[in-house]
Structure 1
Amino acid sequence: MVSLRFPTAAIPRLPPSQAPNGVAIAATVAAAAAAAAAVAASLTLTGKSTGRPVPHPAPLWASLSLADAAAPSSVEPRTGATFPTEAAVGRRLLGIGLRKTSVLGLKSIDVYAFGVYADDNDLKQQLKEKYSKFSVSELKGNGELINDALERDIPMTVRLQIVYGRLSIRSVRSAFEKSVGSRLQKFGGQDTKELLQSFVAVFKDEYKLPKGSVIELSRESNHVLKICIEGEEVGSIQSKLLCKSLLDLYIGDDPFDENAKDDIHENIASILKS
């Protein structure tokens, strides 16, 4: 049974303000206060015209404190793509890799960099009891650990960052149709076409993917696959088979990046023994 949900468009978040410095602090705070007042007035007008509740703007000190420190990140060395070491929902970065493809079997193209995330507590809750007797070194060489990570209801996120500047959404659909389709057949047999089409149909022509664009594919609780493009949720599908097939591309047999899989495997092992 496949369950589809398509949410309304998300309201984009404004970037945090830069913190003021030195003798200019008073002028900066005054300007920020004036801008906050203007935003508040705009929100009030919008809320009244639409009949929706009017959101309260964040206090000025909150905006200033957010800019004081940049979030830590890790870099994919070949492309320079950066990944936050912790996702917004508290999931930590387990490993970074690169998806490459070839043109006519000759030229290799870097398509996107990716990072795989999971929450320590979710991993421990699902896996620690079974693997508590193993050492870290034993867990690193235990292929069954990855199979369990694929099979069980562990929330995980794969964050894709586009590094190929001429990638179209049509190309993304075609690539997923081939790669995810092969995994669906691997785990579920031949009768998976409807499920595959429900997934690739989420990637509509209206979405553009310039270099630096971010796609997030998340297995949430109860094996719900949530798809986000540039921070906007564009669809979700409840299917254990689809979630497993998608994650298998990155951490299963014959992954897109073998080194990334090894790093992810090693980090899961370390988390279980921490």
Structure 2
Amino acid sequence: MATLSENVAAKDQTPVEEKVNGVEQKATNGVNCENAGKAIGEPTVEKVQEEMKTAGKEAERIYTDNEKLKDLLKSNIGKAPAKPSKEMYQVAIDSDLPMMVRLVIVFSGLTMSMVKKNFDEGLGASIKKLTGGKKNEELANKVMGQAPDEIKLTSGSVIEISRLPGFVLQTKVMDEVVSKVESELLCRAYIHMYLGDDPFDKDAKEKFGMSLLSLF
């Protein structure tokens, strides 16, 4: 896995940003999480850059609300631990806090079916871990499964998956909503993919944990 570096960039949100195959996706202003009550993707204080090998062909960013996350951490944990703890990550995973993952395609040969397969497998594995080994492919497929394979993905195409209040997971492909599923398990499994015991990138998770510590 690639390493992660930190830069200053967001006041009200903690984005996680990837650059893959040497292509860096710079943060853009005005990214909104629909129905979340406020914009949560406008960078102003801390940014965590993450390099991952998600199929080697996608760049992702995670946006959330630092102020709400800070309040949540303090109410659940109190004082800052000496180092990032499992409890800290679990607060973010279990919460109803608005969070959005913005995936930017950087490889023109990537198809919708490839994206769906990769995502469904990862989400399915996360659900299995949270349910003690029980599979739920039907639930996992509800997120990207409704996106038509005929959708043409080109370099720069954007997919946004947002956890909204009320444990609703919404998926948008190139600004068009393709699914909106209300499920606490699905929302938890989705964030668990990034902050759980077996994250996509361990270094990235540790750096994200350090940014959580700074919120105290």
Same fold (TM over 0.5): yes
The reply to whether residue 228 of structure 1 matches residue 178 of structure 2 is: no
Deviation digits for residues 117-171 of structure 1 (CA, Å, limit 9, x no counterpart): 1112321332222233225xx2x42221001110111111111111222110000
Please identify which structure carries the higher helix content: 1
Aligned to 1:258: 202
Residue among 95, 101, 119 paired with 1:158: 101
Q: Is the CA contact 1:163–1:211 (under 8 Å) kept in the aligned structure 2?
A: yes
Distance 1:252 1:96, change over 3 A: farther
Aligned to 1:181: 124
Aligned to 1:55: none
Distance 1:130 1:223, change over 3 A: same
> Using the alignment, how far apart are the partners of 1:263 and 1:249 within structure 2?
16
Report the AA paired with residue 167 of structure 1.
Answer: L
Residue among 61, 64, 67 paired with 1:121: 67
Aligned to 1:240: 184
Q: Percent identity?
A: 31
Q: Is the CA contact 1:217–1:227 (under 8 Å) kept in the aligned structure 2?
A: yes
Unmatched segments (≥5 aa) in structure 1: 1-73, 102-108
Q: Is the CA contact 1:214–1:229 (under 8 Å) kept in the aligned structure 2?
A: yes
Deviation at 1:260, TM superposition (A): 2.5
Q: State how 1:32-47 maps to structure 2 within 5 Å.
A: none
Q: Is the CA contact 2:162–2:171 (under 8 Å) kept in the aligned structure 1?
A: yes
Q: Is the CA contact 2:80–2:213 (under 8 Å) kept in the aligned structure 1?
A: no
The reply to whether residue 111 of structure 1 matches residue 64 of structure 2 is: no
Q: State how 1:1-274 maps to structure 2 within 5 Å.
A: 76=19, 78-84=22-28, 87-88=31-32, 89-91=39-41, 94-100=47-53, 110-134=56-80, 138=82, 140-188=83-131, 189-271=133-215, 273=216
> Using the alignment, how far apart are the partners of 1:98 and 1:204 within structure 2?
28
Report the AA paired with residue 152 of structure 1.
Answer: S
Number of aligned residue pairs: 189
Deviation at 1:86, TM superposition (A): 6.4
Q: Is the CA contact 1:158–1:218 (under 8 Å) kept in the aligned structure 2?
A: yes
Deviation at 1:208, TM superposition (A): 1.8
> Using the alignment, how far apart are the partners of 2:80 and 2:211 within structure 1?
15
Which has more radius of gyration? 1
Q: Is the CA contact 1:161–1:214 (under 8 Å) kept in the aligned structure 2?
A: yes
Deviation at 1:204, TM superposition (A): 1.4
CA RMSD across the alignment: 2.3
> Using the alignment, how far apart are the partners of 1:100 and 1:76 within structure 2?
9
TM-score, reference length from structure 1: 0.62
Aligned to 2:13: none
Unmatched segments (≥5 aa) in structure 2: 1-16, 33-38
> Using the alignment, how far apart are the partners of 2:48 and 2:145 within structure 1?
28
Distance 1:91 1:119, change over 3 A: farther
Deviation at 1:233, TM superposition (A): 1.9
